[in-house]
Amino acid sequence: MDDVSPSEFADLAISLDAYKNLFRNHPGGVSVITVDGERPAGFTATSVISVSAEPPLLVFSLNKSTSSWPIAEHAPSAVVHFLSKDDKGIADRFATSGIDRFAGLEYTILESGEALIAGVQTWAQGKIISRVDLGASVLFVLHIENSSAADLHAPLVYQSRNYYHLGDSNQVS
């Protein structure tokens, strides 16, 4: 199948409100992504998905209108911080525009150049190997080179403009 441009289907598209409602009601795991640049940059995302275990690849998307875009556009690498229920404040901070998201935050700069947020127990660091321009957003493909995974924790989830967390009591048998 040949690649097609999203604009080729514009006349068939559902309304913006209908599209947003589809995903507003679909829960997503919350992550903060930090990228390497002339200064630390980062943003909150629910768009992280696993693509391949061999090689270890994940993808995330970023809207080109965000304040992190100018740095992420050229970043060679990124860290995906998988947030737990204890990290809601971090999610809020990195979802807020117009602030210095790193002011007063504990973090270290990895040898690869990205900020690693202190206290986040599960993360993956890797090289950005591809960017796919898709309408208003860009899909980033990240080849994982380093990671740290905590034991089962209560992951932070976002649905319908609210944060939730998963725990043993939420398990469906």
At 2, is the pLDDT very low, low, confident or very high (cuts 50, 70, 90)? low
What strand order describes the sheet that includes 122-134?
41-45, 31-35, 77-82, 122-134, 137-148, 57-63, 49-52
With CA atoms as reference, report the closest residue to 33 among 97, 78, 96. Answer: 78
Q: Is 110:118 a contact under the CB 8 Å cutoff?
A: no
The domain spanning residue 93 has which CATH number? 2.30.110.10
Residue 108 β-bridge partners? 116
Q: What are the helix (H) ranges across 27-147?
A: 69-72, 88-95
Predicted local distance difference test score (pLDDT) of residue 24: 76
Predicted local distance difference test score (pLDDT) of residue 16: 77
Q: Which two tokens stand for residue 1?
A: 């199948």
Residue scoring higher pLDDT (17 or 111): 111
Assess if residue 46 is contained within a domain.
yes
Structural domain total, the chain? 1
Assess if residue 19 is contained within a domain.
no
Could you say which DSSP state residue 19 is in? H
> Whole-angstrom Cα distance, residue 70 to residue 41?
9
Tell me the average pLDDT across 103-124.
94
Assess if residue 53 is contained within a domain.
yes
Which region among 11-25, 83-97, 122-136 has the lowest average model confidence (pLDDT)?
11-25
Assess if residue 85 is contained within a domain.
yes
Assess if residue 132 is contained within a domain.
yes
Tell me the average pLDDT across 92-109.
94
Assess if residue 5 is contained within a domain.
no
Assess if residue 11 is contained within a domain.
no
At 7, is the pLDDT very low, low, confident or very high (cuts 50, 70, 90)? low
Query: Which residue range forms the structural domain that includes residue 65?
Result: 28-158
With CA atoms as reference, report the closest residue to 30 among 164, 171, 132. Answer: 164
> Whole-angstrom Cα distance, residue 102 to residue 125?
18
pLDDT in tens, 21-63: 777 777 788 999 999 877 889 999 998 999 999 999 999 999 9
Share of residues in the chain with pLDDT > 70 (%): 90
Assess if residue 167 is contained within a domain.
no
Could you tell me how many residues make up the chain? Answer: 173
Tell me the average pLDDT across 124-143.
96
Predicted local distance difference test score (pLDDT) of residue 1: 44
- Note the pTM of the prediction, 2 decimals: 0.86
